[in-house]
Amino acid sequence: MATGPVITACIIKPNYIQYLTKCAKMAQQIGNGGELILAYSIRRMEKEDIGQVTEIDREAFPSQWPPANYRREMQNKTAHYIVLCDNNKTIDVPPATPPKRSINILSLMMPWTKQKAPEKIPLPHVTRQYIVGFSGIWMIADEAHLTNIAVREQYRGKGLGELLVIATIDLALKFEASFMTLEVRASNLAAQSLYQKYGFTQMGVRRGYYLDNREDAIIMSTESIGSEPFQRQVSELREALKKKLPDVKST
């Protein structure tokens, strides 16, 4: 058992890549006196994450139609996604690149003959971080439109949704967004309450917006996310969230 400090989670700062690097250096500096554990980390989504993100999306939004296509989103230059990882767990996933086909030399030398189709050479699975949640924005001019935010069911109720909201605000600031917008189902009062907590207010209604059941969408927007009052509010909520996140034991 470690005798040194334990960090329960990594709260993402506006420049979160440098922040995570700093956390890693802190872990190296502790040495034999203890072990620094970052229970969760947030990074940019990669193509190898598509399978896990799609799985979380289907679990969180089973009736959504049409379903989100994250492979296409990765090619969308206005789309920017982040993933929340459990640093104590990994998962083996298929490689992002399709398997290569073996080359049939005989068919190359004698193309007029019928040869057996070349076999696919399977690529080994790769070990990846276990993703427990994700979120994304579309950057349109100076507007950051929050497209999706979701957490795996077994990880809900731990403050991780709030962690993603903060990280998404930080992401929007990185791309110099002036304000943020989103749509949320009229029946999803819990999500509306969370967004209101982080400075989103109702701006209107889109009638019959959701195609699966023609449910209305509530349009929500923030004030300037770079303003001093907004940043002060997020900073206070960030500090409060640090105390709420679950403890992680050192092994």
Specify whether domain 41-94+126-178+224-244 bears CATH 3.40.630.30.
yes
- Segment among 1-5, 68-72, 179-183, 184-188 with least mean pLDDT: 1-5
User: If you average pLDDT over every residue of the chain, what do you get?
Assistant: 81
Give the start-to-end residue ranges of the domains of the chain.
41-94+126-178+224-244
Tokens 């994250």 locate to 70
- Indicate if 195 belongs to the active site: yes
Tell me the per-residue pLDDT of 177-219, one tens digit each, with 9 for 90 and over: 999 999 999 999 999 999 999 999 999 999 999 988 899 999 9
Specify the pTM: 0.74
Q: Clarify whether 130 is annotated catalytic.
A: no
DSSP of 137-203, one letter per residue?
Answer: EEEETTEEEEEEEEE-GGGTTSSHHHHHHHHHHHHHHHTT-SEEEEEEETT-HHHHHHHHHTT-EEE
CA distance 150 to 156: 9
Annotated catalytic residue within 16, 40, 81, 195:
195
Given the residues 16, 81, 183, 210, select the one marked as catalytic.
Answer: 183
